[in-house]
Structure 1
């Protein structure tokens, strides 16, 4: 059977997906161009045609996966409902028990970024985008009188720092804590930042 011919964009997308899978399975240090090529049944030369070096492939794969998560975050935060409900949905999705793609990939990127300025810039830019999106909805909730969060930007930083740390623990020591506990902690962290006793009670009047 003849191999399906893909467009340049389709081939690039397939390579990025394969690279993400290999990085999550092997880690950035161990993954090779040959591993990505083998997963797709193509030659090393074809991978190198699209990405001149392993470092370029890793940075592009991380960017692609992170931007997909960022697009999902924007969808959750853009729903037509209260800011509290949007934030809770986003935090629960972003938490290590949720459906955010690639916590292993993020953790790998943090480690590699210590020595790779290019990946550090990519990761830092995407991380700032996450915080900006959360801060904007926090500010919307304050303006609507839903909660009294005094500093939305600081709250966005604290929330993501808490969830990032929780993700490192949950990913490194899988099964150490039950899913219900992790989700309860995520809800509690959000409620604290919003200045609310809990996320289900009555909201302060505008």
Structure 2
């Protein structure tokens, strides 16, 4: 069978997808350029042509995976309906039992960013984008009179800190906390930040 020739953008996309899969399987510390090359049946030199170092490959793969989730978040933010309903959907989607990015990948990235400046810049930028979008969503609901929130940015930070912490616990210690309990705590936290009764939050009013 003849090998399909990919253009530069398609080849880069394939390399990034393979890198994400290898990071999730092996972890960043154990990842080698040859692992990604072998997964695609290409040479190490081809991987290094597109990403001159392992550090740059990892940073690009991490950003690639996260940008897809940020695009999904922006879609949720732009939907119709009440701000409360959109906020709850976004927070649940981001939570460790939702459909957001693989939390194992994020945790690997956070740990490696302590030692790798390139990856640290990427993780900081992505984190800022998430918090900025969540802040804007909270502010829009407050401006529309759906609830009162004096500091949307602080609320976004507190909610993100809770979700990130729960994700670490549930990823590192699977089974230690039930999904139902986690969702209950997240609903309680979101309702408190918006000054709503939990019943009103759940109903989306």
TM bracket, shorter-chain basis: over 0.9
Counterparts of 1:57-72 in structure 2, within 5 Å, are 57-72=57-72
- Name the structure 2 match of 1:159: 159
**Root mean square deviation of aligned Cα:** 1.2
Give, in whole Å, the separation in 2 of the partners of 1:102 and 1:202.
Answer: 27
Deviations 1:4-25, CA, capped at 9 Å, x for gaps: 1111111100100110011111
Residues 165-201 of structure 1, C-alpha deviations (whole Å, 9 max, x = no match) = 0000011111222222222221111111111121136
* Post-superposition CA distance 1:116-157 (Å, at most 9, x none): 122111110110110000000101100111111111000000
Write the mapping of 1:38-187 to structure 2, written as runs, cut at 5 A: 38-187=38-187
Gaps of 5+ in 2: none
TM-score normalised to structure 1 length:
0.95
Check whether the contact 2:56–2:118 (CA below 8 A) recurs between aligned residues. Answer: no
Runs of 4+ in structure 1 deviating by more than 2 angstroms, as ranges, are: 200-203
Measured in 1, the distance between the counterparts of 2:7 and 2:190 equals: 44
Question: Runs of 5+ in structure 1 lacking a partner?
Answer: none
Q: Distance in 2 between matches of 1:201 and 1:122?
A: 37
